[in-house]
Chain A
Amino acid sequence: MSEQVLNSKLINANPTIYTPSKTSHRVLTEQDEKEDIEDLIDAQEVFDLIRSVTDPEHPLTLEELNVTQLEHVTVNDKFNTVSIEFTPTIPHCSMATLIGLCIRVRLLRSLPERFKVDIMVRKGTHQSEQAVNKQLNDKERVAAALENTHLLEVVNQCLSTAGFRGEPIVRH
C-alpha cells in the first residue's frame, strides 16, 4: 500500500534491467592512433554518445533499460544521415517524448552539423508513436521546448551521465 503511495508519481516503478553486453565496447586499435587515417563516424560511435544518458525516472541508463540499442542506430557518414530508433519501457510511457528530446539534444551538441538526425520511436512500441515522432523531428518544436528552463534543466540532468559511454556510472 505505502509503496504505491510513495511510487505514485512513477509511470513504471519496476522496469526490467538489462546487463549491457561487454562486447559492445570499442577497443582502441593502432589505427585509431595513426594521424592520417580518417575514422568515419559509425553506429557504435553514435550509440556510445547516447547509451549512458540517464532515464528521467530512474537512476538507470537508457542502455540498461533497453531503450536504446546498438542495432537500432543507423549511420551513414557519407550521406550525412543518422537515424535512431528507441523503445519506451512500456507502450503508454508518457516519458517517451522527454527521452527522445534528451537523445535529440545530446546529438545536437555532439554530432557535426552536417548530419541530418532522425529520432523515432521503434515501430509498435508506443501508443502515440506518430505524435511523439512528429514532435521530436520538428526543429521548431524542439527549440521551443528548450526555451523552457525547467525542461532544459531536466534534460541537462539526464545528459550529465552521457559521458560515461557505457562504462559503469559513479553517481553521487
Chain B
Amino acid sequence: MERLARSYMITPNDATDDSGSIVSSIVQNIWSGQLSLLAFVTSLEEFLTSEESSIRAKGTGLLSAVLTECPQEQVNLAAVNVLVDFYCERLSDTTCVPELILGLVSISQFNSFREECAIKVSKSIFSNLKVQNYQQTTRHGVFLIFDVLLHSHLNACKKLGTEFVKGFIQAMDGEKDPRNLLLAFSLVKLIIKEFDISQHVEELFEVTFCYFPITFRPPPDDPYGITSDDLKISLRECLSETPKFAKNAMPLFLEKLTSSSGNAKKDSMETLAACAPVYGTENIVPYIDDLWEYLKDEIFNAKDDSFEVIALETIRSLVVTLSAGVIGKSDHLQQFLKTVVTECMENLKVPELKLSKPCGRILKYCAMASDPSYNLIILATLHGLFDQYGHSDLATRKKAILEILMEFIVAAQNLYGTIEINNDSQIELDDDFSIPLISFKKDLLRMFSSALMKTDEYSELRLCGLRGLHGMILLKQFLSDHEIEDILKYFNQIILIQDNDQDIIKDTLKYLGDIAHYKPLTVLKITIPIFISQLPSDYESLKLDNIHGTKYSKVLGAISEISIERIIFEALVPEILVKLDGVNTFSSNLSKEYIESLLHTLHTLFVKKSSLNHDDISKYANILIPHLIAKCVGPTLEIRKNHDDKGEEYCDDVFCDLKIIQTIAGIISIVTKNMNSREQTMFITQIFELFTQGNLQFIPFSEIEKNKHVIAFNPLMIESSSAQKNLTLLFTAAVGYMRQEVSCSIPNIPDFLSRIVNASLISNNKIYQNSLAQLAASILNKWNQENELENFIKIHVMGELVRYLPSHSSIGESESNRIASLHIFVWLTKALVLRTHPAGYECTNYIIELFNDDTLGKKASSDGFKIIIGDSDLLNKQSFAIIKILYKQRFFDYVMPKLVQGFTESSGDAKHNYLIALSNLLRNIPKQILMSEISPVFPLLVHSLSLPDPDLKASTIDTFYLIALEMPHIISEHVSTLIPLLLSLTNVEDGNTIKVRVAALQCLSVFPDTVPFDVLYPFKSKILRDLGDVLDDKKRIVRKEAVNCRSRWFLFTGPKSS
C-alpha cells in the first residue's frame, strides 16, 4: 500500500494517466476490502503532515482523488466525521485548498454526511476561504459544495441563517466565469426563497445585479456549452424572485432601458416584465409614467417586430401588476390606463395613419392583461370607435377601425378563451361569467357583417369583416348558435351567389374550414346541404350548369375546403356517389369532366384527412372502394364495338378514361394505406382474387349489370382488352400500399412475378408496362423470404430478363422490347437498392454498362437513374416499402467511382450519358453526401456546362449553387473558371434556355453571400458590365433574375470599415 502511495507522490503533476491508474488500483483495494479507508489514511500521514506544502498538497490530492471514486459503503458515519474534521481544519492551509475542495465535494455527497457536518463545512468555508482568490475549478467546487448543502441539507444551512447568506455573498462576489455564475445564480434564487435575506438585501442585490444586462458571448469553439440565454434566464430568475429587490432594481431598470441597445435592451424589457408582477403595484407605480413613455417610444419606433412584441409584453406585464393590487387601490390601474387610452385615442383619430396600428396593439395588450383592465379599456374606447365608424364614409378609415376592434376580439379570445373543438351542443351562456364585450355584441355583429356583405366595397374592408366574424364565432361564451348560423348563411351567400371577388371567396372558405373544425354539426346543417344542392344530379342539369359557366367546379372547390371533419365527410360521400351515378348515363366530355371533378374532390379530401391522421379513412374500403371498382370494371366486361382512328378497340365508358382511373387509383392507395394489417389482409385478398382470377364476388353489381357481362375479367392475360389492362393501375395502387407484415395472398410469388414481368414485356401499352413494373418492384421490395428472393433474382432477373437487354442479343429483340425490358429491370433494381440488397448493385452495374449502347444508353442514364435513386410515388415510406436509412449513401459510394471512371474512359454520346447519370445522382442525394465527395466530381460538373443539353446544364448549375452555399471555399478555388462560364450561360444567343439563364443568374447572385470579398472583387466590374446586357433579355423572368443578381453585386461593397 505504502508503495502505491509513494509512487503516486513521485509521479509528476502532469502525468495524469499514471497517477490516475495508481488511484484506481487503491480504490480497487478498498473496493475489494483488502484495504480499509482508515489504513489508507494512516499510510498517508507522513505526507499529510509534511513540512513542505507541496507534499502536503499532493498527499491531500491523493486522498481526495480516492474519496471521489470510493464506494459509499466503505465510508461510515465515523469516517465521514473524521474526514470532515480533517478537511475543515485544513482549509486554512492555502496551498492545499484546491485539493481539499475536491475532496469536500465528494464527502458532502456521502450518505453518512449529516447535518452537523454541513454546518461545520459551511462555517469553515466562510471563515477560512477567500473563494475568489482561487482558480476556476476550485471556485466551481465551492459552488458545487453549496449546491449539495442547499439541496440535501437545507435545514442545516437555514440554522446558520444570516451567516450563510453573508458567507455566500462573499464567496460569489467578483465571480466572472460563466460556468460558476450559472450555478451561483441558481443558488441565489434558492437562498432568496428559503432564507431570511432582509439584513443583506442590498449586498445580495449588488452581487447579482452587477451582471445585468448579460453581455456574455460564448467563445468561438464554445468550450462551456453555456449560452448567453442560459445566463440571462437564470439571472432573471434571481432578480424576479423577491419584491425586496424592487427598491434597488427599479431605478436601474429604467436606466438600462434608456441607455442600452440591441439585445441588452431586449433583456432589460424582458427582465422588467418578469419582475413587475413580483415587485407588486406599490413598487411599479412610482416609475409607471417613465416606463410608459419609454416603452411607447420603443413600440412606435421599433427597429423590428421582435422589439415591438417584447415592449408590448412588458406593458402587459405592468398592467397585470397594477391589476393585481386592484382592490382598494384601483385608481392606479385606472389612472395608468387613462393615460394610455387618452394617448392612443388621440392617435386613432385618423386611424389610417401609421401610428394607429401600434396604438391598437398597445390597447390590445393592456386589455389582455386582466379582466378589470379589459373592462376599463373597452368602456373607454369602444363608444368612441363606434361613433367614428358611423360617421366615416372612407373605406380605408372604416377598415382601420375594424382592425382595431379586431384587436379587442383577439384580446378577448386570449383572456377569456375560445370555444371548444367539436363543440356543437347548444351554447349555454353561463350567467356567472360573461365577457365584457358581450354588451357590444349587437354593434360588433352589425358592423362586421355589413362590412363583409357589401359586395361593391373595398376588398380589404370586407376581409376585415370576415376576420371579425370568424373571431367572434371562436370567442368563448359570445355568440349564440342562432347567430352563428346566420353568419354561416352569409358565407353561403358569398361563396355561392353574389361574389366575384376571388380573394374574399378564398378567405371565406379558409375561415369556414376552420369553423367546421370547431362546429362541424352547424356547418353540416347550414352549409353542406346548400352546397350539395348546387351540384348537377343528372345530365340535363349538368348541361344547364355548363351554360352558366360550370358553377360546379367552384362548389366542389368549396366542398373540398370544408369537409374534412368526420361527420361532414361521412355525410358527403354518399351524396357524391349519387351525383356520380346520376350523370354516368352519357359518356360525353362534359360528364367525364364532371365525374373527374367529383372524384378529384374525394381524393383531395382523403389526402387532407390522411395527412391529419384521421382514423375514419379505412372504413371507406367497405362501400366506397368496391363501388368505384365496379364502375371501372363493369364496362370492360361488356362488348363494345368501338375502334379509334388506328383501328384499335377502345371502351367509350367514362370510367375507362385514364385520368378517372388514375384518380380512383389515388383514392384506393390512400384508403389502403390507412388500413391496419387485419383490414389490409382482407382487402388485399379480394384484390388479388379480382385481378388474378377474375373473381368479381366483392363487387356490388346489380342483376341487370351482371346480365350484360359477357367477357371475363382477366387483365393479366395477353389477349385481354386495353381497357382491362389499364385497370392494373388500381391493382398496383392497392398492392403497392401493402404493409410489410401483410403477405400477398398468392401461392407462388416467383411464378406470379415472372407472369407480371412477361405480361409487361409483351404489351405495347405504356401504362400497363409501367404499372406492372411498379407492382413487381413493390412486391420484390417487401418480399421477406430471403432464399426465394435470391433464387428469383438469379433465375428470372439476372438470368432471363437481362438477356433481352444487350443489342447483340441472340434472341434478336426489337427495340421497343428492349426498352420495355430495361424499364422493368430498372424498377426491380430500385426495389433492391432501397433495401440495400447486393443484387441491386449488380443490376446497377449492368445499367451503367448500357451507357455505351446507342439505343438504351440515354434511357438508362436519364430515366433509369432518375427512377432508381429519385423519390417515387410508390416505393416510399408512406407505402411501407423497405428502405434502409443509408441506402442513398451506399448507392452513391458504389456508383460514383464507376461514373467518374466511365466518363474518363468513354467518348462521344456515352460521355454525355455518364454526366446525365451523375446529374441525376447528385440531384437526389442528401447534400451532406454530396459535399463530402465533391472534389472528384468537380471537373465533371464543369465539363457538363459545356454540353448542349439544357436540362443537364440547369441541374449542374443548381449543384454549383448548393456548393456555393455549403462549401464556398471550393467555389473560391475555381472562381476564375466558373464566373466566365456562368456569365456566358446567361446569354440568350448561345442557345441557353430560360431555365439555364435563370439558374446561372441565381447562382451568380449567391456568390457574394458566401464567397469572401477579396476573392470576388476582381470580377465585380465585369459581372456588372455583362449583366447590363442581360437586363435587356427578351424574357421577363430572366430580366427579373438579372436585376436581382446585378443589384446584389452593386450592394456587394465588402466589409464595412466601421
Contacts and interface: CB of A to CB of B under 8 A. Distances in A.
Chain A to chain B: the 7 pairs with minimum beta-carbon distance, closest first: A112-B1032, A39-B1036, A38-B1034, A110-B1043, A112-B1031, A14-B353, A14-B355
Interface in B328-354: 347, 350, 352-354
A32 B396 contact: no
A18 B1051 contact: no
B1046 interface: yes
A6 B354 contact: no
Contacts of B1031: 110-112
B1044 A14 contact: no
Contacts, number: 81
B352 A17 contact: yes
Contacts of A14: 347, 353-355
Interface string A141-172: 00000000000000010011011010000011
Contacts of B350: 16
A121 B1043 CA distance: 25
Contacts of A32: 1035-1037
Nearest to B297: A6
B301 interface: yes
B994 A35 contact: yes
Contacts of B297: 2-3, 6
Interface of B: 293, 296-297, 300-301, 304-305, 347, 350, 352-355, 357, 396, 399, 459-460, 503, 993-994, 1028-1029, 1031-1032, 1034-1037, 1039-1040, 1043-1044, 1046-1047, 1050-1051, 1053
Contacts of B503: 22
Given A33-B994, A39-B1036, A171 B304 contact: yes
A82 to B, nearest CB: 13
Interface centre among A38, A39, A49, A109 (most CB of B within 10 A): A109
Given A14-B354, A16-B354, A113 B1047 contact: no
Contacts of B396: 18-19
A3 B1044 CA distance: 39
26 contacts: A6-B301, A14-B353, A14-B354, A14-B355, A15-B353, A16-B350, A17-B354, A19-B460, A28-B1037, A32-B1036, A33-B994, A33-B1037, A35-B994, A35-B1035, A39-B1035, A39-B1039, A45-B1039, A58-B354, A109-B1043, A109-B1047, A110-B1047, A159-B1047, A159-B1051, A163-B1043, A171-B304, A172-B304
Nearest to A49: B1043
Contacts of A165: 1040
Contact of A156 (B293, B304, B1051): B1051
B473 to A, nearest CB: 24
A114 interface: yes
Contacts of B301: 6-7
A13 B353 CA distance: 10
Given A14-B354, A14-B355, A163 B1037 contact: no
Nearest to B1042: A110
Nearest to B1047: A109
Nearest to A15: B354
A117 interface: no
A60 interface: yes
A156 B347 CA distance: 32
Interface string A43-62: 00100010000000010100
B990 to A, nearest CB: 13
Looking at chain A's contact residues, the main secondary structure is loop
A171 B1028 CA distance: 28
Nearest to B400: A17
Nearest to B1044: A163
Looking at chain B's contact residues, the main secondary structure is helix
Contacts of A13: 355
B451 to A, nearest CB: 15
Contacts of A162: 1047
Contacts of B1051: 156, 159-160
A69 to B, nearest CB: 15
A135 B503 CA distance: 42
Interface centre among B296, B301, B347, B503 (most CB of A within 10 A): B301
Given A33-B1037, A41-B1039, A162-B1047, 13 more contacts: A16-B352, A17-B352, A17-B354, A17-B357, A38-B1034, A39-B1035, A109-B1043, A109-B1047, A110-B1031, A112-B1029, A159-B1051, A160-B1051, A163-B1047
A111 to B, nearest CB: 6
Nearest to A157: B1051
A161 to B, nearest CB: 11
Interface in A98-138: 109-114
Nearest to B1029: A112
Nearest to A12: B354
B296 to A, nearest CB: 8
A150 B270 CA distance: 35
Contacts of A41: 1036, 1039
Interface string A5-32: 0110000011111110010000010001
Contacts of A18: 352, 396
A3 B343 CA distance: 11
Nearest to B293: A2
A145 B993 CA distance: 40
Contacts of B1046: 109-110
Nearest to A19: B460
Contacts of A159: 1047, 1051
Contacts of B399: 19
Contacts of A111: 1031
A60 B354 contact: yes
B456 to A, nearest CB: 15
Given A17-B354, A58-B354, A60-B354, A113 B1028 contact: yes
A49 B986 CA distance: 20
Contacts of A7: 301
Nearest to B1030: A112
Contacts of A3: 296-297, 300
A111 B1035 CA distance: 13
B968 to A, nearest CB: 21
Contacts of B1043: 49, 109-110, 163
A138 to B, nearest CB: 22
A60 B296 CA distance: 19
Nearest to B1034: A38
B1045 to A, nearest CB: 10
A101 B1043 CA distance: 18
A33 B1043 CA distance: 18
Interface centre among A3, A18, A28, A49 (most CB of B within 10 A): A3
B1005 to A, nearest CB: 10
A32 B1040 CA distance: 12
A110 B354 CA distance: 30
Nearest to B1053: A156
A35 B460 CA distance: 37
Contacts of A35: 993-994, 1035
Given A15-B354, A16-B352, A109-B1047, A114 B347 contact: no
Contacts of B1029: 112
